[in-house]
Amino acid sequence: MKIKLSPAFQMALIFLCFGILWIVLSDAISYNFSSADIARFVDLQLYKGLLFIFLFSILIYLASDRFFRRLHKAGKDNEEALIKNHLLEIAIADQKLQYKNELAREVFEAQDAERKKIGEELHDNINQLLGVVKLYMEQAQHKPEKSDELLKKGITYQMLAISEIRALTKSLVSSTLADIGLMESINELIESISQSKDIRIILKAEAFSESVLSRAKKQMVYRILQELLNNILKHSLANEAIISLQHKGKDVVLLTEDNGIGFDIDKAKRGAGLNNIRNRLASFNGEMKLYSAPGKGCRVEVVFEA
């Protein structure tokens, strides 16, 4: 076991050893040179004391100089380390700020795109239907003989507008999620897609329990699944898709696969849909992995902590 002595103890030990050796050896030499001459012995003792002070001053200077050099070097190293740590903290803070700014920008762009989509839907579809209803109502006022027929047509278009508004509202807010739960809402979503689109959707979630998820995470899963299914319907040309929900340790894994045309991931653009998914996952420290190739469909794996 190696014993490490403090600098002060080391200097005291040097002084002790040097003093003992000096007294013993110098007294012996002085006695040999002046054993019969007391005056000469006294002079030698004086010179010996002065020489001792001189030599020991040099010794103290060398030892203290070494000690203070080491202390200064340690202080300088410590100062450099503090500066490096401070610069590293600043760099990390800058990266975090940059990431937050990018995330905020992407969220804003996604929200802006969503608002634009809602505006287009209201203008191009619902607004036109209501315009037709207004036209029939006005004609019914000016043509009393055809009012019944015109009112019936107006009511038909009015019901279409109501149906479109309900569909748009449902795409924005899942009213059933809080009422009937995540899995039932997913089943309802799959059923509504299957009724209107020529695609078979299979759900595998036998070993999954939604009770471990908070309300916010349930909402996130539903929104991400909506986005993934929307991408499949718009781009894949698939006639079958598989959805899997399972637990993997402390994580939840959401997996979607389709048998569509696939695409080259390296050449694919970062669409608003995928950015929406990444932004939602970022709030819960989750991640998304994308696998696809031309002619081999697409596989998306979403992982986050329950």
Residue 163 maps to a domain: no
Q: Give CA angle at 157 (154, 160), nearest 5°.
A: 150
Cβ atoms < 10 Å from Cβ of 243: 21
What's the mean pLDDT in 127-156? 84
Gap between the Cα atoms of 279 and 134, Å rounded: 42
Query: CA-to-CA distance for 61 and 40, rounded, in angstroms?
Result: 31
Q: Are 185 and 203 in contact, with CB atoms under 8 Å apart? A: no
How many angstroms separate the CA atoms of 201 and 208, rounded?
18
* Residue 288 lies inside a defined structural domain of this protein: yes
d(CA 280, CA 78): 42
Tell me which residue of 204, 193, 198, 254 sits closest to 229, measured CA to CA.
Answer: 193
Quick check: is 212 in a domain?
yes
Q: What is the CATH number of the domain that holds 246?
A: 3.30.565.10
pLDDT band at 107 (very low <50, low <70, confident <90, very high): low
User: Could you tell me the pLDDT band of residue 147, with boundaries at 50, 70 and 90?
Assistant: confident
Per-residue confidence band for 167, with pLDDT thresholds at 50, 70 and 90: confident
> Which of the four pLDDT bands, split at 50, 70 and 90, describes residue 30?
low
Phi, psi of 303 (to 5 degrees): -130, 135
Q: Compute the average pLDDT of residues 58-68.
A: 75
Domain carrying residue 298 = 174-306
Query: How many domains does the chain contain in total?
Result: 1
Backbone φ and ψ of 239, nearest 5° = -110, 5
Of all helices (H) and strands (E), which one includes residue 259? none
Confidence of residue 192 (pLDDT cuts 50, 70, 90): confident
pLDDT (0 to 100) of residue 225: 92
Q: pLDDT-based confidence at 272, cuts 50/70/90? A: low
Three-state secondary structure call for residue 255: strand
Better pLDDT: 5 or 183: 183
Q: Cα–Cα distance between 182 and 256 in angstroms, integer?
A: 16
Q: Assess if residue 210 is contained within a domain.
A: yes
By CB atoms closer than 10 A (0-12, 13-18, 19+), residue 48 is middle
User: Is residue 18 situated within a structural domain?
Assistant: no
Dihedral of CA atoms 131, 133, 138, 139 in degrees, nearest 10, equals: 110
User: Residue 260 burial (CB < 10 Å; 0-12/13-18/19+)?
Assistant: buried
pLDDT digits (tens, 9 = 90+) for 72-83: 777 777 777 788
H-type alpha helices, the chain: 7-34, 38-121, 127-142, 147-172, 175-180, 182-196, 215-231, 272-282
Residue 80 resides in a domain? no
In eight-state DSSP terms, residue 208 is -
77 occurs within a structural domain: no
Single pTM value for the model? 0.51
- Supply the angle between the helices 215-231 and 272-282 in degrees, to the nearest 10: 160
Assign 244 to helix, strand or coil: strand
Residue 27 lies in a domain: no
| Whole-number Å distance between alpha carbons of 155 and 235 | 35
